[in-house]
Each structure stands twice: as structure tokens, then as C-alpha cells.
Amino acid sequence: MVTPKTTPKEILKCIRLTATGGTITLIAHDSEIGLSVSLPCDSTEDIDIVVDPVRLTGVIKDAKADDVKLSMDGLNLLIQCDGKAKLGTTAAIEFPPMVSDRGDLLWTVDGEMLANALRKVSPAADPAPSGGRTAMAGVLFDNGPTLVATDSKVLIAVTLSGVEHAKIEDRFFTCLTVKACKAIASIAAGEVAILRDENRIVARGDGWSLSAPLIQGKFPNYEKVLDPGRKFPNVLPVVTADLGLMLKRAAIFNDVESVGLEVTLSADAISVDNRKNGGEFASSIPASYTGEPMTLNVDPNLIGKAFDAAGDTAEMRLVDDSSMIYIEAGNMRAAVMPLEKRA
């Protein structure tokens, strides 16, 4: 999750394992993200070593015994569970120090809700932002509290409910890498505290903490894009799985990123047609659309990211056939840029 597969520092492929005072602690970091996990143990000797996590996991994961006994024989780690195994280790002094896990409290949030929100917004981040927009490579932690990501073509924001939070004064500067967000999402459970110091975000739960650097740069003002006070004359409730599947089928064998798919909205149906793009797909599903009949040209991959974040149902809101497509479902809001219409 944190240990890198490739790195010029081979020791970072390993983890630091310490056992003392009734606690065993595992520490990993890739020179940016640091993760510490602590568990209770019955310790009879102090241990402080660096070990290969793949080999250690390989010994332990298939063990049928409930308890695992660790002890040292020189620099070899002895492991006793179903049988006995011996792993070579490195002295802990060779391992880089753990990055800071301190900061001022921003949020106290349910871990599952946080993990779900991070999974929803992260796909919208820009993997290779240009023009100095480095913050768009990650996820913004904003007041609300709200998580936001965008690549300028699709924007997804999720507001967390029932969360104790402090006001963030320097808004649009608290951005975390997608890798760090995925790491938090994979481990978050129970109550999670989100802290921030000048340069880092810390997520801390029961027995674990993760520290990651903030992305340098300012995130765009997403509220101007979402514009919650805007009135929409055209509204379409959708079952996201039905429309998403139809778009995916139509997209097969088509260069949809450059020319898009035509989606026609009428009072009682949504129709998709890729025949103008050399395809052979045309289909429709029932709908209950309120507004002017119109035809949109969309990239199904972008719409798909918003639908994945929305869940089972959502509401599409439109000003006209060439403006942003707004999608809302519960605490999730998204804006998707349509493609230029084909002649």
C-alpha cells in the first residue's frame, strides 16, 4: 500500500518492525507517505528491525494458528506459527526516520464514510496537470467538509455529513495526492481524525496513522463551477446503471474521446446513437425528462466517473445542449464538460 515497488533506496521496499512494552508497530514509507500501524502483543523481548514485508506476509498469511510468535536470533527474525521460519533482517538504524504525524485537528469523521468519499472523487483528479495546475493532481480537502477533484473536464465533489470540523482559512491549498487518498481509503475504519500542519496532512485512526505531504499549488475555485444557486430548466432523473451501460455499449469500437456519443433527451426516452461515428449502435431507455428536447455530445468515460460517484440514481441538470452537464445524487455533486457537437 505504501512501500514502493521501485525505488533507488532499496530499504524503502521494507518495513520497520518494533516490539516493546506490549505493542508491535509496523512502519512503512516511500520518502513521502508514512504509515504506522500498531497492535497489542505479549512482548518478552524488544525487537527493532527492518524486514521484507512480502516475505513476512508470505510466512504469516496462510497460518492456521491464531498466535504468531516472533523472536530474534542475531539479525534473523524467527517466526513460529504452524511451523518455524527464519527471515534475514537489517538493523533499524538503516531505515529512514518516520515522517511527522502531528498537526492541528481539521475533521473527526467516520472512516467508512471518508473512504467511500475518497473513492468517489479520486478518479476525477488529473494524472498529468499542465500550466502550473499541480493541485489538480490530487484531492482537495475543503470546508463543509468537502472532498473535491477535477481534471477540468469532469469535477466531482462529495460533502461529508455529521462531521465535526474546524474552519480551513487558506482554502484551496489543502490538497493530497491520489496515492495518499487511496492509502487512507484502504485503511480507514471507525473514527478517523484528519490533521494538518504547514506542509502535511495526517489521518489517524485506532492504532494507525498516515502522514502525507500537501501538493504545492492552489486548487481551482470549484464552487464557481458547481454554482449551487443556479436554476436549471432541464432536469432528467436517471438510473445510472442503465444509462451507463447503454453508453458503454455505444462506445465500443468508437473514438469517443475525440468525437463523443450523441445522447438525445425527449420527454419519455433517452436515446444513444453512434452511427454518425461509423458505429452500428442505436438504442433508447425510458425516461421522465422535464425540459426542452435536446441532443448532447458526451464522452462516456467522463459521464461514467460521475455516475460511479453518484451510486444507483442521480439527477442530470442542464441549462442547454452546449453547457456543463450537472449531476447530483445526495451529498455528491458533479459537473461534466460536453464535447463539441459534430456537424
Q: What percent of the chain has pLDDT over 70?
A: 94
- Tell me which long-range contacts 22-25 makes (C-beta under 8 A, separation of at least 24): 24/70
pLDDT category of residue 343 using cuts at 50, 70 and 90: low
Looking at residues 56-78, what average pLDDT do you find? 81
Contacting residues for 168 by C-beta, under 8 A, at least 6 apart: 106, 141, 142, 143, 174
Per-residue pLDDT of 162-215, as tens digits, reads 888 888 888 899 999 999 999 999 999 999 999 998 889 999 999 999 999 999
What local confidence, expressed as pLDDT, does residue 165 receive?
A: 83
Contacting residues for 132 by C-beta, under 8 A, at least 6 apart: 217
What local confidence, expressed as pLDDT, does residue 98 receive?
A: 75
Nearest CA to 226 out of 336, 338, 135 is that of: 336
pLDDT category of residue 56 using cuts at 50, 70 and 90: confident
Q: What percent of the chain has pLDDT over 90?
A: 51
Q: Which three cell numbers stand for residue 264?
A: 438525445
Amino acid of residue 237 = P
pLDDT category of residue 57 using cuts at 50, 70 and 90: confident
Which has more confidence, 256 or 70? 70
What local confidence, expressed as pLDDT, does residue 192 receive?
A: 94
Looking at residues 242-250, what average pLDDT do you find? 87
Interatomic CA distance for residues 192 and 190, integer angstroms: 6
pLDDT category of residue 331 using cuts at 50, 70 and 90: very high
Phi, psi of 178 (to 5 degrees): -60, -40
Q: pTM score, two decimals?
A: 0.89
CB-count burial class (<10 Å; 0-12, 13-18, 19+) for 280: exposed
Residues in the chain: 343
Report the chain's mean pLDDT, rounded to a whole number.
88
What are the CA-CA distances from residue 200 to residues 1, 86, 280, 288 (Å)? 19, 38, 51, 47
What local confidence, expressed as pLDDT, does residue 340 receive?
A: 83
pLDDT surpasses 60 at 257: no
Which has more confidence, 239 or 168? 239
What local confidence, expressed as pLDDT, does residue 73 receive?
A: 85
pLDDT surpasses 60 at 256: no
Interatomic CA distance for residues 149 and 132, integer angstroms: 16
Interatomic CA distance for residues 120 and 311, integer angstroms: 9
DSSP of 116-160, one letter per residue?
Answer: HHHHHHGGGS-SS--TT-GGGGEEEEETTTEEEEE-SSEEEEEEP
